[in-house]
Chains A and B, each alone.
Chain A
């Protein structure tokens, strides 16, 4: 049976095609494109991806309007059933606004939009998204965001660290994120939100001028967990 991934498009999403393309390249199966106004998701999904972009022009707060979309009710319900959900960049912001992940993404501490490839340290290798990495290894993934400054209160940060729910940390100074957190997973490991863009790092530098191939292993990890499920 082919891998079934859905990529949600909100008005203002701009990395949805990249996400669909990365998923298709790694899985060999085309991703199903879903519009934000749809009330239902396709059946039997193996992954739901919320892409980067500027949904609703970042009105009110980044991700706040998208979190109220009809499709997000279906995404929250699917996450409750254990369907893996990956939110990248604006997708991460949407996941925090929808309260599927704790914390919030504030304006970058330096006020500037940051667009470059950064070093990340892999912290959690227990989730279907990160099983293909080695704990403590450094990978390079591009970031492109204005509101990537992860915030949660100290109690929540302690809990995230204590329970191993920090997926990635920045290995360099990037945006002022609390405890250098670049990505977090839910308690059951089935929901991952991260500011860096793994879908922009699926081909070696020799093939693509984009961010290298370190993001590819995330998609391979998801696929491997699907194959053994």
Chain B
């Protein structure tokens, strides 16, 4: 069973990487880009029936640092956020 965890820097946390990419896009001539934020996509292949609470624990214990990052879980169907 495939589960996708999206980890993002929280709003207000400086993202120098995103800023550099933003500048690079402008350098390539792309106009109208307001902001760039870079996150991380983690694809998990987990046993059927793995519940949302377990994936949430994985996120809180390791996959995301909740001091600076938020996470969303996709692919668990009902109950996914």
Instruction: Name A residues whose Cβ lies closer than 8 Å to a Cβ of B.
Output: 60-61, 64, 68, 96-97, 102-104, 106-111, 149, 151-153, 176
State in angstroms the CA–CA spacing of A153 and B14 once bound together. Answer: 12
A–B Cβ pairs within 8 angstroms, 25 of them: A60-B62, A60-B63, A61-B65, A64-B62, A68-B61, A96-B67, A97-B65, A102-B67, A104-B67, A104-B68, A106-B13, A106-B14, A106-B16, A106-B68, A107-B16, A107-B17, A109-B14, A109-B16, A111-B17, A149-B14, A149-B16, A151-B13, A151-B14, A151-B67, A153-B67
Asked if B46 CB lies within 8 Å of chain A CBs, one says no
State in angstroms the CA–CA spacing of A187 and B14 once bound together. Answer: 27
The interface residues of chain A lying within 8 Å CB-to-CB of B16 are 106-111, 149, 176
How many A-B pairs have beta carbons closer than 8 Å: the answer is: 37
Interface of B is mostly: helix
Interface of A is mostly: loop
The interface residues of chain B lying within 8 Å CB-to-CB of A96 are 67
The interface residues of chain A lying within 8 Å CB-to-CB of B44 are none
Closest to A111 in B: B16
Asked if B20 CB lies within 8 Å of chain A CBs, one says yes
The interface residues of chain B lying within 8 Å CB-to-CB of A104 are 65, 67-68
Instruction: Name B residues whose Cβ lies closer than 8 Å to a Cβ of A.
Output: 13-14, 16-17, 20, 61-63, 65, 67-68
State in angstroms the CA–CA spacing of A151 and B20 once bound together. Answer: 19
Are B14 and A176 in contact, CB atoms less than 8 angstroms apart?
yes
Closest to A156 in B: B67
State in angstroms the CA–CA spacing of A64 and B67 once bound together. Answer: 13
Are B65 and A64 in contact, CB atoms less than 8 angstroms apart?
yes
The interface residues of chain A lying within 8 Å CB-to-CB of B20 are 111
B79 to chain A, nearest CB (A): 26
Closest to A153 in B: B67
State in angstroms the CA–CA spacing of A107 and B65 once bound together. Answer: 14
Closest to A61 in B: B65
Lowest 3 A-B CB distances belong to which pairs? A104-B67, A104-B68, A111-B16
